[in-house]
Structure 1
Amino acid sequence: MLTQTVAGRTFDYSYCIGGRMQTPANIAMGSGDTMYVLCRGSERTPNVPANRATGNVRVCVFTSGSTPGDEELVAEFGHGGDSEGEMTWPVAIALDSEENLHITDEWLNRISVFSKDGKFLRVWGTSGDGDGEFNGAAGIAMDKQENLYIVDSLNHRIQKLTKDGKFLAKWGKLGSGEGEFDSPWGIGLDGQGFVYVVDHGNHRVQKFTPEGEFVAKFGSQGSDAGQLNYPSDVSI
């Protein structure tokens, strides 16, 4: 279930709404009351290769309205596949100043960019462990300079790139120490530019400067107050 609070109201998106949303995974807030919901579709189908089990992969565009019950589906775009403009296992969305959508794909290890009207603009990224390469491209966030911070989950690191994919910096490696990760997943930025990374396998959140210097950490595995059990995302 995906939960998001908008204008003091909480929305819970379960497996399917109106037959159009299947496995919603992430949400981004656009201008006005526009909401972009990323749907992963059918991830597992017997006897079908993973890169072809892509039914109902799309972005659903909603307006939230002013009161509960006013929500309206106004558009949807996207298609499952591995060609340009298609997505297989999309994970997260970041919006730039023009409200273009930058979408990570953990299977294809790339970022696809669409206009707010759903027009495919470009794609970049490839599989690997070099600079600008990914192994499980997951969470994504954009700073005020429109640089992207992308969680490279199975390489256990964060990469910082321009919105066109030019490599700028990276930090992190597999481990449990400060600045180390175990399959990180979600990411978020605060108003001062600090970077918060959800360290999934270490059951914690780590805070960094925009340059990747470690600042703080919080969380440990458990079910008590302040403890986490395989956290997946963060919102600031």
Structure 2
Amino acid sequence: MTPTRNRARQHLCRAVAACFSAAMLIAAPAPSHAGDIPTFAVDASWPKPLPNNWILGQVGGITVDAQGHIWVIHRPRSLTDDEKGAALNPPRSKCCVSAPPVLEFDADGNLLRSWGGPGEGYEWVGREHGIEVDEKGFVWVGGNADNDNAILKFTADGKFVMQIGQIAPSKGSGDTTQLGKPAETAVDKDANEIFVADGYGNRRVIVFDATSGAYKRHWGAYGKPPSDEKQPPYDPNGPAPQQFANPVHCVKLANDGLLYVCDRMNNRIQVFRKDGTFVKEWLYEKNTRGNGAVWDIAIWPDPKQTYLLSADGENNEIRVLKRDDGTVVGSFGRSGRNAGQFHWVHAMAVDAKGNVYTAEVDTGKRIQKFKLTSDALR
């Protein structure tokens, strides 16, 4: 080969190599960067199988404690005969029996502790709904059956501490001693107060002292007094409802003192200061009817708490929202029964590493874990 042809061949090879390298750079996925929007992948192996032939019923709540442990409350009485066949007399099948109502898991899905149900000194709820573990390790639970008008406080090992309200008829949204099928709680460790999304019977947020149970204050939508007058059905083309709909389904407190409330059937999040002053509201999937589009909220664990995650049990997805203005910047999930899909995603929680845990009711009756796949924590 002549020198001229050899040089031409070398130039051609270098040109082809350069083009190939450029193509590889275009095809390669972009690296994650600090401040990325949270994205997730389901961990289909979580949790590990329960011991003792146990099975979960409808899952009424899920939360993460300061140690990164996942706490679940489920509804043993929601199990059908074919699900709890081993518990029947005589047994109809080899599997299964109900797990205790309250269960604690580690991040790997190992069951650490379980307890709950009727006991001495307190009234257990008729249908379990909502669970919170405060900074001191106390576990708060509630219920939303008829007359489930109380919240209960326990130690982490299930020792009864305090009851606020009674398992008795509700006295309405203006009463300061009784609740109305409370859905969820949030504890303000600095003020030692517990905020209650109250709930399936009442139309308010109510606040108590977290140690004594003494009443502090309450308010309804827009920070106004709540009313128990019958409300018209939700109309996506009508004016903004001036009262919360039933249920007031969640309450979450951010580090900057803003309180986020799920007005589920009205498809909106309302934001307040801790004293009940209304700040703003955001509407999502406004044409959603049925059971509504705003079921639960989790606050993102980066230092600025940049995002909110919002569970939508009617549309069966989780939206990623910018906390400053409520803009939707991402979502995951869809309706279905496979891993990573939902049927009535009812509650959710996020740990310090950005892993998301979800709970399903109705026929879902399961919990799932979604691992963070982006760099969204700095």
How far does the alpha carbon of each residue in 1:119-146 deviate from its partner, in whole angstroms, 9 at most, with x for none? 011111143479xxx9431011101233
Aligned partner (choices 209, 214, 225) of residue 72 of structure 1 = 214
Q: Please state which structure has a larger fraction of its residues in helix.
A: 2
SS at 2:346's partner residue?
coil
**Structure with a larger share of its residues in strand:** 1
- Larger RCO (alpha carbons 8 Å, 6+ apart): 2
What is the aligned partner in structure 1 of residue 298 from structure 2?
A: 141
Matched, 1:127 2:285: yes
Instruction: Work out which of the residue numbers 185, 189, 193 in structure 2 matches 1:31.
Output: 189
Q: What is the aligned partner in structure 2 of residue 98 from structure 1?
A: 256
Aligned-residue offset at 1:199: 2.7
| TM-fit CA distance, 1:103 | 0.8
SS in 1 for 2:345: coil
Matched, 1:15 2:174: no
C-alpha distance after superposition, 1:58-105 (max 9, x if no partner)? 11111222xxxx221111122256847631121111211222111111
Q: What is the alpha-carbon distance in structure 1 between the residues aligned to residue 243 and residue 373 of structure 2?
A: 32
Whether the 8 Å contact between 2:260 and 2:269 is mirrored in structure 1 is: yes
The count of aligned residue pairs is 192
Measure, in 2, the Cα distance between the counterparts of 1:108 and 1:210: 30
Residue aligning to 2:85: none
Unmatched 5+ residue regions in structure 2? Answer: 1-124, 143-147, 151-164, 166-175, 221-225, 232-238
1:183, 1:93 → 2: CA distance? 19
Q: Distance in 2 between matches of 1:86 and 1:25?
A: 17
Select the structure of larger CA radius of gyration. 2
**Alignment partner of 1:127: what SS?**
coil
**Structure 1 unaligned spans of 5+:** 43-55, 213-236
C-alpha contact 2:149 2:178 (8 A) present in aligned 1? no
Task: Please point out which of 155, 161, 171 is paired with 2:332.
Answer: 171
Q: State the distance in 1 between where 2:133 and 2:189 align.
A: 16
**Structure-2 change in CA distance of 1:210 and 1:166 (3 Å):** farther
- Percent identity between the two aligned chains: 24
* Counterpart residue type for residue 283 of structure 2: G
What SS does the aligned partner of 1:107 have? helix
Q: Provide the C-alpha distance between the structure 1 equivalents of 2:299 and 2:131, rounded to a whole number of angstroms.
A: 21
Distance in 1 of aligned mates of 2:241 and 2:259: 15
Q: Residues of 1 paired with 2:213 and 2:186: CA distance?
A: 15
The 3-state SS of whatever aligns with 1:186 is strand
1:88 aligns with 2:88: no
Cα deviation for residue 29 of structure 1 reads 1.1
Instruction: Determine which of 63, 71, 91 is the counterpart of 2:209.
Output: 63
The RMSD of aligned alpha carbons is: 2.6
Query: In 2, Cα distance between the equivalents of 1:101 and 1:95?
Result: 5
